[in-house]
Amino acid sequence: MPRDASPRRYLMCPPAHFRVTYSINPWMDPAKPVDLPLALTQWEDLRDRYLALGHTVELLEPHAGLPDMVFAANGATVIEGRVLGARFAFAERAAEAAVHREWFRAHGFTDVREPDHVNEGEGDFAVTSTYVLAGRGFRSSPLSHDEAQEFFGRPVIGLDLVDPRYYHLDTALCVLDDAADEIMYYPGAFSPGSRSVLRRLFPDALIAGEEDAAALGLNAVSDGRHVLLPQAAVGLLRPLRERGFEPIGMDLGELLKGGGSVKCCTQELRP
Ligand code: ARG
């Protein structure tokens, strides 16, 4: 049975100034050149795909000194129009947080919180119908989980990330159906206790294998039907189709050099 898509509103930032000049995750190697025109084309393909699927894409103005701004998912978390701003773990990205908060204030969002604790937005917060799943271990502080729970009034489930390649929750877990608590994830990225928690809460989850995870295949975006994911994660195609989803492989190879792919480039503005 095919699934129903629902229209989404996304916030994205073109990679006009994308470069890998520092390394804050194992994917980033400043010695490896980035093909900027190709990065832009790949990003435009993603944006155009969202538009073709009927979604709305809002744009954030890229800043010259902030080469990771293309990873817009990290700048905030928005649920029911309430905006929990980000506070970045590394100085290199710190200034992005204010740019995001300004964007929200300028676009009619009245409830915008500047957080007390480090959280990297949707990099570490994933929203299902019941929970906010929250990663910790590399970037977001465990204290940010309480802050998010109090702010959103939703149960926040803390999950411990243990493999530096999967430094953000959204590199290891993706919400497939946010109306029904359906997710896919790579167990190897989590501590044994967090794996048990995931098994308990999501017994029917799609379990990704190591190869697809290593292709950053979990860094995907679903509208309830279409699942946009890195094209190299071919092992996910069949299980997604068997569940009634329509997987769409995207080539974001240049952005992978920064340690991000489809989801990292996409912040969801939940109404
Ligand atoms: N270079 C960026 C960083 O290390 C990549 C962020 C990817 N974003 C994400 N949502 N996982 O912070």
- pLDDT in the model for residue 143: 98
Residue 1 Cα to ligand 1 middle (Å): 34
Tens of pLDDT along 236-268? 999 999 999 999 999 999 999 999 999 999 999
Alpha helices in the chain (DSSP H): 36-52, 96-106, 142-152, 192-201, 210-214, 237-242, 253-256
CA nearest 18: which of 89, 123, 96? 96
Helix (H, G, I), strand (E, B) or coil at 121: helix
User: Which residues are part of the catalytic machinery?
Assistant: 168, 264
Strand pairing partners for 157? Answer: 133
Domain ranges of the chain: 9-268
Q: What is d(CA 112, CA 82) in angstroms, rounded to the nearest whole number?
A: 6
Confidence of residue 112 (pLDDT cuts 50, 70, 90): very high
Pick the atom of ligand 1 nearest to 74's CA: 10
Residue 68 Cα to ligand 1 middle (Å): 7
Q: What is d(CA 261, CA 219) in angstroms, rounded to the nearest whole number?
A: 6
| DSSP annotation of 60 | P
- pLDDT in the model for residue 225: 98
Tens of pLDDT along 66-80? 999 999 999 999 999
Q: What is d(CA 225, CA 222) in angstroms, rounded to the nearest whole number?
A: 7
Residue 72 Cα to ligand 1 middle (Å): 9
- pLDDT in the model for residue 2: 82
Tens of pLDDT along 178-187? 999 999 999 9
- pLDDT in the model for residue 204: 98
CA nearest 231: which of 255, 253, 254? 253
- DSSP letters of 183-226? EEE-GGGB-HHHHHHHHHH-TTPEEPPHHHHHTTTTS-EESSSE
Tens of pLDDT along 128-177? 999 999 999 999 999 999 999 999 999 999 999 999 999 999 999 999 99
Q: What is the mean pLDDT of residues 92-99?
A: 98
- The token pair at 51 is 């538009």
Domain 9-268: state its class: alpha beta
Residue 255 Cα to ligand 1 middle (Å): 10
Pick the atom of ligand 1 nearest to 123's CA: 10
Pocket test residue of 122, 264, 265, 267 for ligand 1, highest count of atoms within 8 A of CB: 264
Residue nearest to atom 8 of ligand 1 (CA): 264
Tens of pLDDT along 202-236? 999 999 999 999 999 999 999 999 999 999 999 99
What residues does ligand 1 touch, defined as CB less than 6 Å away?
24-25, 28, 68, 71, 73-74, 93, 123, 168, 170-171, 258-260, 264
Instruction: Decide if pLDDT at 59 tops 80.
Output: yes
- pLDDT in the model for residue 1: 76
Alpha helices in 57-181 (DSSP H): 96-106, 142-152
- Residue 74: other Cβ atoms inside 10 A: 28
Which residue has 């520092």 as its token pair? 22
Phi-psi region of 108 (alpha: psi -120 to 50; beta: other; left: phi over 0): left
Pocket test residue of 90, 168, 267 for ligand 1, highest count of atoms within 8 A of CB: 168
Q: Tell me the residue length of the chain.
A: 271
Pick the atom of ligand 1 nearest to 122's CA: 10
